[in-house]
Amino acid sequence: MQITDIIDQALRSGRTRFAFELLPPLKGDGTAGVFGAIDPLMRFDPAYINVTYHREEVKYVGREGGLLEKHVVRRRPGTVGISAAIMKRYGVEAVPHLICGGQSRYDIEDALIDLDLLGVNNVLALRGDNLRGDRTFAPHPQGLSHASELVTQIAEMNRGHFIDGEVEECHHSQFCIGVAGYPEKHAESPNMETDMKWLKAKVDAGASYIVTQMSFDNRKILSFIERCREYGIGVPVIPGIKPFSTKAQLTLLPQTFHVDLPEELVREVERCDDNRQVREVGVEWAIRQGRELIEAGVPVLHFYTMGKTDNVVKIAEALFR
Ligand code: FAD
């Protein structure tokens, strides 16, 4: 089933659905950790499960004589495999993320072919972040610079066009494509207007819905949705909610995701004696955010779990039981 069908059903029934995002296992881990994170959430009838994609990292290993050996490694490969495994085990749609970073257009095409053969028909198309240590995003020499180009490649494949143009008569994939949106602006954008222009380019290229970067402020999420409509972006917008969970996130989240933390949330977290209390504050904040957004009629709430779902279970108890 396509995510847009699930969204349509949610909008028609007036029932906001629950979705969450997981990381693929670390290299060397099996499926147990991921399944262990999903199991307690299944009773809330998730609409679908997103699986993040992690690009390569450069690692140097010391060798005799002071030489350094360079390795290009991926610590969390397996996005395609675990997505198919989730669908097989739970019968729920998986939405693998696919990024431009570190891949040629041919690598991307191969990944799409694998997904299509596995019956995974939904993808979230992203540019991906810079290679760790790089100040700017450098595309693969035969790769793509922006998510809009990735959306175009996927949409072209849906139309039966492969990169080398060799295949003429073929089976057409039917990928439903989601993209990222930023209620508080993408860090590299000079301003919100420019960011919205490029967001529209992704939708015009073939994206059918938008998932937002985390925001802890519903006013910003709702005004972003309004802004999308003003810019002629009519596709559904799925708000992304991250349950706040450690004191260190007071600085880590703004630094990593370029989001502001509301003063009230900061005050509540600062009052906590330990991270167990912070986790409780985070759960309460997410429940409040979720309630308001459900009231505002959003079709799906997307929860960022970072692989740990105990707090999302508590939030889902309050919102989706
Ligand atoms: P783009 O849409 O390409 O935008 C990047 C920047 O370039 C923006 O400032 C935009 O305004 C600008 N821009 C866009 N198109 C053009 C153009 N044609 N010309 C000039 N400027 C342009 N990262 C991962 O590595 N793996 C994941 O699994 C992952 N999942 C994510 C899920 C969600 C819901 C979100 C919100 C983000 C996720 N990210 C993930 C992070 C994401 O890769 C980064 O935020 C990245 O910096 C931008 O990705 P994008 O797809 O928004 O890029």
Condensed to tens digits (0 to 9), the pLDDT of residues 216-234 reads 999 999 999 999 999 999 9
pLDDT digits (tens, 9 = 90+) for 79-124: 999 999 999 999 999 999 999 999 999 999 999 999 999 999 999 9
How far is it, in rounded angstroms, from Cα 257 to Cα 185? Answer: 10
Measured from the Cα of 147, ligand 1's closest atom is 3
Q: Say what the pLDDT of residue 237 is.
A: 98
> CA-CA distance, 94 to 129, in Å (whole number)?
22
- What's 239's domain CATH number? 3.20.20.220
Mean pLDDT for the stretch of residues 256-275:
98
3-class state of residue 31 by DSSP: coil
Mutate to test the pocket of ligand 1, among 21, 186, 253 (most ligand atoms within 8 A of CB): 186
The pLDDT assigned to 23 comes to 98
Quote the pLDDT of residue 116.
98
Active site includes 69? no
Q: Are 31 and 87 in contact (CB under 8 A)?
A: no
Among 7-16, 158-167, 197-206, which is the least confidently predicted range?
158-167
pLDDT of residue 21: 98
The pair of structure tokens assigned to 153 is 């490649």
Residue 143, token pair as written in the block: 């790769």
Boundaries of domain holding 259: 3-320
Q: What lines the ligand 1 site, CB under 6 Å?
A: 52-53, 55, 97, 99, 126-129, 146-148, 180, 186, 188-189, 194-195, 198, 201-202, 211, 213, 240
What is the tally of structural domains in the chain?
1
Atom of ligand 1 nearest to the CA of 181: 36
Structure tokens at 141: 């020499």
Name the CA dihedral angle for 24, 217, 220, 296, rounded to a multiple of 10 degrees: 90
Residue with tokens 């005799």: 64
List beta partners, residue 22.
51
302: left (phi over 0), alpha (psi -120 to 50) or beta: beta
| Model pLDDT, residue 22 | 97
Residue nearest to atom 2 of ligand 1 (CA): 147
Atom of ligand 1 nearest to the CA of 97: 28
Q: What is the pLDDT of residue 259?
A: 98
CA distances from 91 to 49, 88, 103, 119, 239 (A): 11, 6, 30, 12, 24
Q: What is the pLDDT of residue 169?
A: 80
* Helix, strand or coil, per DSSP, at residue 216: coil
- Over residues 291-310, the pLDDT tens digits come to 999 999 999 999 999 999 99
Tens digit of pLDDT for each residue in 129-175? 999 889 999 999 999 999 999 999 999 999 999 998 877 788 999 99
Residue 126 Cα to ligand 1 midpoint, Å, equals 5
Beta strands in 100-228 (DSSP E): 122-126, 176-181, 209-214
Q: Indicate the DSSP class of residue 209.
A: E
The predicted-structure confidence for 32-84, as pLDDT tens digits, reads as follows 999 999 999 999 999 999 999 999 999 999 999 999 999 999 999 999 999 99
Atom of ligand 1 nearest to the CA of 130: 47
Instruction: Reply yes or no on whether the pLDDT at 213 is more than 80.
Output: yes
Cα–Cα distance between 154 and 175 in angstroms, integer? 7
* Ligand 1 pocket test target in 126, 194, 203 with most atoms within 8 Å of CB: 126
The residue whose CA is least distant from atom 21 of ligand 1 is 198
Q: What is the CA(180)–ligand 1 centre distance, in A?
A: 6
pTM, rounded to two decimals: 0.97
How far apart are the CA of 177 and the centre of ligand 1, in A? 14
Residue nearest atom 13 in ligand 1 by C-alpha distance: 198
The answer to whether the beta carbons of residues 117 and 171 sit under 8 Å apart is no
- In this predicted model, which residue has the larger pLDDT, 202 or 321? 202
Please, what sign has the CA dihedral across residues 119, 54, 192, 148?
negative
